[in-house]
Amino acid sequence: MLDLVFKNHTSGKAPGEKFFRGVLDTGIKELKIKDKNIEVSLNLVGEAKIKELNKKYRNKNQVTDVLSFPLEESRFKKHDILPLGDIFICLPFAVKESKRQDISLKKELAWLTVHGFLHLTGHDHEKSKKDVKKMFELESLILEKLK
């Protein structure tokens, strides 16, 4: 079961909680972690907030598309709770990127959500070529299931 805390902190129009829940549920099924109570926080934020977080936690003073902050799960294992962490998606960045790629905003937000979700589950594309391949294959698999 997914316990999703969703908040659009912007004034921009975006899909609601139901959309993001569907994306995350698909990811949970594909990673075969559906036997736990999954907790995720997903926040749509503006450029100033994502830049602030990127500078504070990654020492990069720039706007980015998505940031993920995984939580340590070990202390919750006995309760069948898996608190994955927080995903922050920059809505204005996603809007610009969807226009640049000539794709729907939903398609871009789905990709960013899956990307952030995979980071929360320990996947990384910055360590090795093998990790890059594995993460992007999982992204493609999950996104294909959403069609």
**Along the chain (147 residues), what's the average pLDDT of each consecutive run of 10 residues?**
95 96 96 85 98 96 96 59 90 98 98 96 78 88 92
Domain ranges of the chain: 2-146
Measured between alpha carbons, how far is residue 78 from residues 3, 4, 39, 75, 82 in Å? Answer: 17, 20, 15, 7, 10
pLDDT at 9: 97
pLDDT at 74: 47
Check: CB of residue 5 under 8 Å from CB of residue 24. no
Fold of 2-146: Collagenase (Catalytic Domain) (3.40.390)
CB count within 10 Å of CB 126 equals 8
Q: Which helix (H) or strand (E) holds 116?
A: helix 105-120
Check: CB of residue 87 under 8 Å from CB of residue 20. no
DSSP bridge pairs for 86: 41, 69
pLDDT at 133: 86
Whole-prediction pTM = 0.91
**Residue 60 φ/ψ region, left for φ over 0, alpha for ψ in the -120 to 50 degree band, beta for the rest:** beta
- Cα 52 from Cα 47, distance rounded (Å): 8
